[in-house]
Amino acid sequence: MKRVIVPFLAMILLFGCQSNHDPYPLTQTKLGILEKTEDYTQYKPVSLDAARIIIPFDFDSPEKLTNGFRFNDVSIKKFTDKHVELNFEIKSKEPDINGMYKLTISTIGSLLPSEYQEKIKIDSKVTGYYREETNESELHWIKNDLDYKLTYNSIEEAESDWLRSVIVVAKNMREE
């Protein structure tokens, strides 16, 4: 009997201890799959609070939003075991405000393009790269090995205060 049990236990230990270590085990959660392609899996959107529980790394988000803006649900995309992307839409409840923010957080840092017009100090350790056009502004930075990109888009030409508001939003981002 021992001759059967010992090899059986050894086999369980050998194969049971092997793992394909997935640093971002989103597939282990009960997220619904919205779309699956060769390149990525797009999960059904979740609330910001749910994303903080599901995502196995800490990320910053704005502490407070002004002018009646609010978070819509968070969209989660997994490209590989090491590349996860979170996408937030931040829209105004006010009908006369036609702009919206988009925040993308990615586990794969990208090269910061040279087309950025200005360096912005976000906090004592982080520098962001800012650019603006007629109806869009963008601020890009890397913090704690996460790549952040915050954009403001307006349907029509936007005032400079609105375009530069991405800087204020970024400076108010914290881990919760």
List, in order of start, the domains of the chain with CATH numbers: 23-175 (3.40.1000)
Could you tell me which residue, 19 or 66, shows the higher pLDDT? 66
- Whether the pLDDT of residue 5 is over 80: the answer is no
pLDDT average, residue stretch 98-117: 79
Percent of the chain surpassing pLDDT 90: 23
Q: Which amino acid is at 37?
A: T
The answer on pLDDT for 17 being more than 60 is: no
Confidence band, pLDDT 50/70/90 cuts, at residue 69: confident
| pTM listed for this prediction | 0.77
With the CA atoms of 150, 47, 61 and 103 taken in that order, what torsion angle do they form, in degrees rounded to the nearest 10? -10
